[in-house]
Structure 1
């Protein structure tokens, strides 16, 4: 069975939490796009893990984790992340971690270029809110055919690979020197870096598409793990304030290396309120006073897992969420962090937008979203701890009404609800996986 787990909003919806639970019964977990700008937080046995490149299934000893074809991989970051996870007692080896030979390498200069350009844009107030980890530049060079893939590290002694390295270095020195007045990088240093990474990661690099296809043929359970959410998709998001890859579930099999396979289930993950890291239009933050938003931010611990930046927050946005749900084509919905709202006397929900005197109910990323204001419905809070609830019927009546209001606005049942950060603090209703 193939299950894709995707974000319906701007990212940071709690996908890592959902994948960690699904991994308990999975055989393979695959990251299929993005890079180390992802930040999935999982809490288990009072230990907090922040994962950037490693799939959330790495915390399960019987799960094989894959970094798929569609990813850009910063090997320096991966080395440090593996070491950090190992220090917490997690075993990582070529038996439980496999790197696609088709995945793109995030070269050392990509991060440098990202930082230089974001600093330049910041001087004019037009920065994109990049994580400064080189993701856009790695993808850009991928489509320019001016970078390496992981499988190339296995053939560094071949003349055609060395010729490509020299060509791309010459190009990059021209680009960084001409645009940013940077000193040129040397070929011997670049080749030495590649050789070191080849020695470290060669045992992990393989044809992961064949591996996943074989797992599915053997009736194993495979979970596809997305980074970010629909609003950050390169094609369907709030361009240009997006990621540089496709976060949409339809891309999942392509980025995983099994392009002819369709998911059996698509889980769309929503947070019980809205959050956003990075620049771009975010109508939800106009809904409530700053004091309300700061209280929500502190209650929910809303700081970026990858960057530590305070997240922009606001009420649940049904307009944006309905659009994200349509993009992801999810048949299952997981709602996270419902417990964070438990202290509120009243809880706002955005039911539509307003532009001048016009009511907007359909989200369009090409609209003038910055000029829109949210239309709010206030719902009664429940003012009680729900972290011990394990059945839907155990939730306070107003908590159930809140969920049912969201279901009505989305025209879709919510089957999974998290009521705390710990692994066992959740409940299901309807037909879950």
Structure 2
């Protein structure tokens, strides 16, 4: 069985928390895209964990985790992430973590270039809100065929060094002549690669073969996405997107088994809206600054990868329905419903008003989205603590009505409802 766990909105929907919960029923959890530019925060009986590259399934000893070929991997960050997890008592070995030999390496100069370009753009207010982790520049060089892959670390011979020399020579044209920086040192980059070849050689393998054999043997495989549908490079709020395909249809491809098809798509969305980074975010216009500050504090809305305050707003029906359609969802998980416990009334963005006065429930793009204004409906709040509730029928009626309203509005069944950060703080609807 192949299942994709994907984000419906702008990212930060609580996917890591749901992967941690649902992975109890799976043998393998595989990441299929992205890098360390977003984080999954998971809290369970073993502690609080922040994961940037490693799949959230690593917190279950019986689960094998896979980092797929569609990912871009910064070995320096990965080494630190592994060290941190080990210090928290999480065992990580080549038996439970497998890294695709096809995954692209994020080099130090990719990170440097990301920071330099964002600084240049910030002078004119045109920055993208990059996390400055080098993701876009790694993917860009990948498609220009000017990168190394993790599998190259298994063959650190003269041929790989020559390829690296060509890459460095090309990169220095940019670093020196455009940004006025010191040239990248080939010797330093070669030594950097040699170090991580020693660290990660035991973990690097043909994960496509591993996953195909596991699927043939009837193993249950979960694909874990980073970010959400609205950050997809093709279907998201371009150019304020990630640099990879975050939608579930790409999961088997990015993981390493492109000939296989999904059996189940589970979409994750918050009970309200949140967003890190630049770009159009209509929902935030539906609240005052004071209201957003209160919601942010109740939801602890700060980026797991960057610590940046997230932009927040009410649940956005227009954006969420679009995300559900992009992800081809069979069922949904609604996270952080308990964050809304304090509200007397719960606002919901039901439509967008366009500059010509048209009101639409179809998610627009480009200039139309930039200028859209929210149309808001207010629903009754429940104004009480629901963190101890474990059955849908035990929720206050206003909370039940809110869930059913969203379910009908986005056109997909909500099966899971999280009412707290712990594993057990989740309602499962039959």
Matches within 5 A, 1:34-433: 34-45=34-45, 47-157=47-157, 159-356=158-355, 357-430=357-430
Distance 1:54 1:153 in 2: 19
Q: Distance between the aligned counterparts of 1:252 and 1:123, measured in 2?
A: 37
Equivalents in 2 of 1:271, 1:93: separation in Å? 33
**Equivalent residues of 1:236, 1:365 under 8 A apart:** no
Residues 66 and 208, structure 1, Cα contact 8 Å, conserved in 2? yes
1:207-245 deviation per Cα after TM superposition (whole angstroms, max 9, x unaligned): 001101111111111100000001100000000000000
C-alpha separation in 1, matches of 2:288 and 2:46 = 34
Moved more, 42-51 or 375-384: 42-51
**For 1:386, what is the secondary structure of its paired residue?**
coil
State the TM-score, normalizing by the size of structure 1: 0.98
Q: Secondary structure at the match of 1:415?
A: strand
Whole-angstrom CA distance in 2 between matches of 1:426 and 1:367? 39
- Separation of aligned partners in 2, 1:310 and 1:15: 19
Please say if residues 329 and 412 of structure 2, whose CA atoms lie closer than 8 Å, have aligned partners that are also in contact: no
Aligned mates of 2:135, 2:373 — CA distance in 1: 32
Q: Deviations over 1:91-140 (max 9, x none)?
A: 00101101000000001100000000000101111110000000000000
Q: Which whole-Å CA distance do the structure 2 matches of 1:415 and 1:346 have between them?
A: 24
What runs of 5+ residues in structure 1 fail to find an aligned partner?
A: none
Structure 2 unpaired stretches of 5+: none
Please say which of residues 139-148 and 20-29 is displaced more in the overlay. 20-29
For the residues of structure 1 that align with 2:14 and 2:311, how far apart are their CA atoms? 15
TM-superposed deviation, 1:174 = 1.1
Whole-Å Cα distance in 1 between the matches of residues 364 and 159 of structure 2?
Answer: 46
Three-state SS of the structure 1 residue aligned to 2:178 is helix
1:367: how far off?
A: 4.6
Q: 1:180 aligns to what SS in structure 2?
A: coil
SS at match of 2:377: strand
Instruction: Give CA deviations for 1:290-309 in whole Å, capped at 9, x if unaligned.
Output: 11110000000000000000
Q: Where in structure 1 do 4 or more consecutive aligned residues deviate above 4 Å?
A: none
Aligned with 1:368: secondary structure? Answer: helix
Give yes or no for contact 1:349–1:377 (8 Å, CA) kept in 2.
yes
- Write the distance in 2 (CA, Å) between the matches of 1:341 and 1:330: 25
C-alpha distance in 2 between matches for 1:289 and 1:59: 39
Q: What do the CA deviations read for 1:153-195 (whole angstroms, capped 9, x no partner)?
A: 11111x3322111100100111110110111122221111111
**Residue by residue, what CA displacement relative to the aligned partner does 1:317-366 show, whole Å, maximum 9, x if unpaired?**
00000111110001010000000001100000010011132101100223
Taking the aligned partners of 1:206 and 1:262, their CA distance within structure 2 comes to 22
